[in-house]
Amino acid sequence: MNTSYLNIIGLAYRARKCSIGEENIINDIRNKKAKLVLISNDISESTKKKLTDKCSSFHIPYVEVEDRYTLGKALGKPERVAVAILDDGFAAKLKTLLL
């Protein structure tokens, strides 16, 4: 997989245009703030189902990306299993890189 999308995630995090943490992401999906949700491929099945079902019901696109350690490193944090992108520009760029 092309890892140049990790730089965009890092930029979005530093620009405060993304949210992390399961509850924050679900709230952003409910409030239609999330433009794209990135889910690591090693997330637990229950959390994955919760996030993907919420994205589907609110028509928010989601993409499965690399493992939690790679996603966390892109954010400058320890492991992270999901990230919600809150900006249209960052989301559009990530979609072109990931889809």
Number of domains in the chain: 1
Per-residue pLDDT tens digits for 87-96: 999 999 988 8
8 Å CB contact between 12 and 84: no
Average pLDDT over residues 4-22: 90
Burial 45-74 (b: 16+ CB within 10 A, else e): eeebebbbebbeeeebbbeebbebebbbbb
Note the pTM of the prediction, 2 decimals. 0.89
Domain that holds residue 63: 5-98
Domain at 56, CATH number = 3.30.1330.30
43-88 confidence digits (pLDDT tens):
999 999 999 999 999 999 999 988 889 888 888 888 899 999 999 9
